[in-house]
Structure 1
Amino acid sequence: MTSDRRISPIALPATRARRVVEQLLEGSGVALNGSAPQDIHVYHPDVFSRVLHQGTLGLGEAYMDGWWECESIDDMACRLLRHGLGERAHNRSERLMYRLQSGFFNLQSRARAYIVGEAHYDLGNDLFQRMLDPTMCYSCGYWKQADTLHAAQVAKLELACRKLDLRPGMRVLDIGCGWGSFAEHAAGRHGVEVVGLTISREQARLARQRCEGLPVDIRLEDYRDHAGRNDYDRIVSIGMFEHVGHRNYETFFHSVERHLEEDGLFLLHTIGSNTSDISADPWINKYIFPNGILPSAMHIARASESHLLIEDWQNFGPDYDHTLMAWLANFDAHWHEVAHRYNERTRRMFRYYLSVCAGAFRSRDLQLWQIVFSRGRRMRYDAPR
């Protein structure tokens, strides 16, 4: 979606800040005020110094403020990340501050667990209903044989059910159930009973409506507060582990082990980081997912090894690119229906978020993993695809 501005990008003097930005962009395929879809069109003279001083936070906030525009932010982000600007966009003091905070404080403690629900997931069911597909899945679809967002999301849910080998009458715990996508699918199509946990009041309200009449119990509850032992045949967590935090990874897997029956299976569906650095993008952390952090393969393996056995690990990260672009298309097509409840800055915030994340997956800077665990009591596990 192009800018609706009717003025041309301003003619800017060759300031030192601009020259530095131009040098950083050199060879990336992204130009200033060029004609290609991925080129950046500047509308405010201070955008260069803002970006140089604040990194990705300054870049995102400048876009929200209308200081620059780009026809294809996803392509821009992909090219910049492939050019190696992802690491250079975060200064040392910024990284140090996050590490100090996460080192001294548990940013995802019980007391802070509901912050992301209130800040993002509770923003408005009307907005998410227009952005997502009818399943209300807010996680990566599986596009292997799908050509629409809805088909990809149904395929993802069914893939998870097949990997869990669901059978009628089983009890399933859904940690981070969102708007009830998996619970509705698994209970309705596979005849299982589901207990779903979410830290979002709005998600819980809509999930209960969507699952009405099914053997589904939606609870506004943190996973650490869920009582019981060996009380579930299967456990699933789709798109929630990103909010757990590195200080709580082992607590999370201990909780899964405690609730899973001896011969049970657990499926974890999560975005993954290529590195084990403890850091977070400051713009995403401030505006989209407060206190979120992406796990690495090493984080998951180390935290789970004394609790569960890894049976299968599948990566379909490129599918998140397709998913995010489909969400962006829905968002643009239906924004006019909810615009009266939100402001222009919110619109630009969502467009930037969806586009930049699509570019990150396209560049393979981020991954999407589905991992199946057992308690090591099974004779054999064969993963479906």
Structure 2
Amino acid sequence: MKSGIRIQLSFMMFLEFFIWGAWFVTLGTFLGTNLKADGLETAKVFSTQSWGAIIAPFIIGLIADRYFNAERILGVLHLIGAGLMYLMFKAENVAVFYPYVFIYMVLFMPTLALVNSVSFRQLQDPEKQFSSIRVFGTIGWIVAGVAISFFHWDNEQNNLQGDTLRNTFLMAAIASAFLGLFSFTLPKTPPKGKGTTAKISEILGLDALKLLKDPNFLIFFIASIAICIPLAFYYQNANPFLTAIKLENATAKMAIGQVSEALFLLLLPVFFKRFGFKNTILIGMLAWAVRYVLFAYGNAGELAFMLIIGIALHGLCYDFFFVSGQIYTDAKAGEKYKSAAQGLITLATYGLGMLIGFWVAGYISDHYKMADGSTDWKMVWLIPAGIAAVVMLLFALAFRDKSKAAAQVEP
């Protein structure tokens, strides 16, 4: 691959995840502090990510795969997204903010697949080359978080006095506009499915429902939905929690999670080889429970190290469950249903699982709101810790797959 194309693809990935990290990490804090949203209103906004994940296959399957170049659709979606981000920047209340964020997420979620599509079409050996491109996305997310703390936009006093957290949307809008224009310079990626037809069931991955006839895959599928409930608590409540307890440079510190994600991804093959699929995924589930217990009992003072460890466990939580699950699904599906099966798991996790999770997190947050306006964060974190522990226990008892797919050790 030419060095110029590698630079283009790396920069594309950097901007893609910089845009997402620029506003999504601090969204919960912005909604509660700046727009005075309650827990259920916050859940409604966060659930737009799930609706985007559910609707995204239609956009990719029905449009991108058949009619237009991927890089052009990527450009158009990000240019529209820049306009929506600016409208979110100007919104003064949740009622005005919600329709903009809903449309934005429906348009943004497909771009996650589009940047992968543009990259894969330029790589001669994707298995070896893609990770060196994708890592710039993680770097982009980290830089966004560090920038927010560097400018002190997430500082509670600055935000209360100057509405500074609103600037995250303007930063994302500028980056989105830039990526939108830059996308038109990317290597041409024409649609592969032009002139072909496909059933809706194929586009949405519903053909892979046949895999659910296998009791072990069904157990894994249900566990994938259930474990996304505690995951939603992290996305929705972590930044508001860390900001509320006055952890210094909270947004920058949350970027530690992305650093650990990259590190644990490298360790994943070692764990597969030594412990196997089931034990690796159980470690990931256990990490969810442990991190939330650390959040429940940690503080911004002498026990701040507990919070940092909890944040750093993000890589273990995410990679050991989600990436392991993707590998298991790929091996279980076989050649015929590979794409369909991955689409089904994405719908189950980022779609259904997190949709439920965001609403549960919103309800729990409201339930433990104190009379003085503060939140009983200890209970807010112990509940998802308990959910993760129960899911882990049930999976350990019920999952008994002895097939070659479950024994696979090479990601």
Which is richer in strand?
1
TM (norm. structure 2) is 0.25
Q: Which protein has the bigger helix share?
A: 2
TM-score (norm: length of structure 1): 0.26
